[in-house]
Amino acid sequence: MSSQTYFVGPTPKTVRGADGQVVNVPAGWELLPPGDAALTRRVKAAGDHWGVAEKKGRKIFSRGLWAASATIERIRADLEVERSTEGFAKKKEADARRREKAQAEYVEDFLGAVVAFLNFHDAYADLADRLAKAVTDHATPVGSGTVARTKRIPVEQRAEAAVIAWMRH
């Protein structure tokens, strides 16, 4: 199985190697764009493929996967059949419920950590709760990219950083 990584080439059916050499894509291959992780994973496992990336600044972004058209179509059809089953739909619903439950628990834990960090006097408990709720609503949505979503630091430090960031903005 051949797996190589290239950069976007000067024309649609070419890629550029790490050494700068332009290579033509084999006949019968097509570009599978990024976005469907299951399809990409299965195409990679099925055989020869070339990964294509594009560098913008210091970051490298995937532009997809070159592989045999027949392989991509066969796997895509198999996935469509698999995804159309009732069992798959139930699994996706259960996954969504599990994520929602975990998110609700995290929001509750984070709110408690923010209140603990604020450490307001009991006379100002109402203000502390409102401030903690505002910070938590801002910082905890999935995909928000805020410090509250990281798992690299303890929740107490995340709460502290989120309060500081919220007050700064």
Please tell me whether residue 16 adopts helix, strand or coil conformation. strand
| Amino acid 2: pLDDT | 60
Residues 93 and 63 in one domain: no
Residues 163 and 90 in one domain: yes
Q: How many CB atoms lie within 10 A of CB 112?
A: 15
| Amino acid 107: pLDDT | 95
| Amino acid 3: pLDDT | 67
Residues 58 and 90 in one domain: no
Number of domains in the chain: 2
Residues 121 and 141 in one domain: yes
> Whole-model pTM above 0.75?
no
Residues 103 and 163 in one domain: yes
Average pLDDT, consecutive stretches of 10 residues, N- to C-terminus, the chain (169 residues)? 81 90 94 95 94 92 95 97 95 96 96 96 94 95 87 93 91
Domain that holds residue 122: 86-168
Residues 129 and 153 in one domain: yes
Q: Where is the domain boundary, 83, 113, 133?
A: 83
In whole angstroms, how far apart are CA 93 and each of 52, 99, 104, 143?
33, 10, 16, 20
143-163 residue pLDDT tens:
888 888 888 999 999 999 999
User: Tokens at residue 28, please?
Assistant: 């019968």
Residues 58 and 96 in one domain: no
In whole angstroms, how far apart are CA 56 and each of 8, 26, 109, 133?
11, 26, 38, 38
